[in-house]
Amino acid sequence: MFKHTQLLAVSAAVFLLMFGDGMVLALLPNTVISLTNSSQSVWYLASTYALAQVLSQLPVGMLADRWSAKPFLLLGYLLSFVAGLLFYYINNDVSLVFWGRVLQGIGEAPLLSLAPALLSVRYPANKGQAIGIYNAAIYLGLTIGPFFQVMLLKGWSDQQIFLLYAVLCLIGAIIIGFSIKIQPGIHRPNVETMNVSAGLALIKCPQVLAVLWGITLYGAGFGLFMTIIPVYLLTAKGYNQTGINIFFSLFYVAISLAQIITGWLSDRIGRQMFMLTGMLTAAAGTSVTVYVNQPALTLILCLASFGLGAYYLASMAFLNEKVPAGFKGAISGVYYLFWGVGMFWGPMLLSRYSQYNGYHSAFQLFALLLMVQIMLLLAASHCRRVYNTSN
């Protein structure tokens, strides 16, 4: 009867946090523009968040393998709560926006990496499906949040939305506190944990390296959709704030569907096909962005985000299958380390590139990089397994 209690609890908690996060993220680009009278600083929203992720993911994963995932998950929700309070007290100080994003980056690191690592061992026969459900809860929250704000909270100020986000983070912490038992390591005591030599042995595999490079591109693509594309839609395609909210919601809907579909199918027919088709779909959608207008543009961007989501889930499950139980937290930390590198550098470099060469050239360049990733995956597809899972 209680077989799926852990999955339901962590999914419910992260849904609440991301429900508030979805409303907040839809407001932040316009908040930065209004406070600075410029769009040039918007990319910092992704980069400050990603930098915090880069610095915290691997240490958090390795420490959780040795001690327990629960305190790091609790800390994540509490730091996100503090970030919501910083957003609430913004007034005219744009630096509080970026400090809040730093706290979100640190706080969401264990939510993104440790919970999937925990689920991958809790549900060894259906790890892709379990991770897919959890990740779908993340993006379902991000999806419903902007729609809920547009439809039911029209009269609310930005500050009230930020405060609601903080409260939802606190509720998530309470759910985690009462639903997850503390255990040594992520799942069981006395298991071998990842060290430097084991990590180096893992990444010697060409296929692992190719997948990690793809994760970096996924991070860059996610940052692109969170920052540069909304600015492009606002400044070049005539979108208003309602249109941006709808874009964010549909973006998250597409990624949510990709998580559920890819998780279930990849457990049965393998990860490689979904990594390849995901990148191909994202490349196709991104490359035609400048040629169409709303509403077709919104739908095409959703198609591209579906492709990113498919790669995200398939690559995460692929890496979890490369390592034994004591490495799950660390490999998830490595995953989001590469993701954070992409999210930090991607929006910054593409933003600078678009300033000199235009959005069209920037989007085409990113699509080309995704196509190169497809070729790398195909070339490295015959790499042997580095580790056999113990599950």
Preceding peptide of 295 cis, ω within 30° = yes
**Residue 384 domain-assigned?**
no
Q: b or e along 51-75 (b: 16 or more beta carbons within 10 Å of the residue's beta carbon)?
A: bbbbbbbbebbbbbbebbbbebbbb
The whole-number pLDDT of residue 284 equals: 95
Domain total of the chain: 1
pTM of the model: 0.74
Contact 53, 109 (CB under 8 A): yes
Q: b or e along 323-358 (b: 16 or more beta carbons within 10 Å of the residue's beta carbon)?
A: bbbbbbbbbbbbbbbbbbbbbbbbbbebbebbeeee
Helices (H) and strands (E) counted in the chain, each on its own, are 13, 0
Instruction: Return averaged pLDDT per consecutive 10 residues of the chain, 391 residues in all.
Output: 74 95 86 79 78 82 79 94 93 87 92 83 76 86 82 84 95 91 49 54 76 93 88 88 82 84 85 93 92 89 93 88 71 80 85 89 95 92 48 37
**Residue 388 domain-assigned?**
no
Give me the sign of the Cα torsion angle 99, 100, 103, 108.
negative
Report residue 43: phi and psi, to 5°: -60, -20
C-alpha 21/C-alpha 314 separation (Å) is 24
C-alpha 59/C-alpha 103 separation (Å) is 16
What single DSSP character describes residue 334? H
The whole-number pLDDT of residue 388 equals: 43
**Residue 124 domain-assigned?**
yes
**Residue 386 domain-assigned?**
no
**Residue 71 domain-assigned?**
yes
Domain encompassing residue 218:
5-185+193-379
The whole-number pLDDT of residue 164 equals: 95
**Residue 215 domain-assigned?**
yes
What is the four-CA torsion angle of 66, 68, 74, 75, rounded to 10 degrees?
-10
The whole-number pLDDT of residue 383 equals: 52
The whole-number pLDDT of residue 370 equals: 96
Q: Which two tokens stand for residue 134?
A: 């959890």
The whole-number pLDDT of residue 192 equals: 53
C-alpha 356/C-alpha 335 separation (Å) is 32
**Residue 391 domain-assigned?**
no
Of 165, 159, 195, whose CA–CA distance to 77 is shortest? 165
The whole-number pLDDT of residue 184 equals: 46
Q: Could you give the count of Cα atoms lying within 13 Å of 385 in the half-sphere of its Cβ?
A: 10
**Residue 84 domain-assigned?**
yes
CATH number at residue 90: 1.20.1250.20
Phi-psi region of 294 (alpha: psi -120 to 50; beta: other; left: phi over 0): beta
What single DSSP character describes residue 3? T
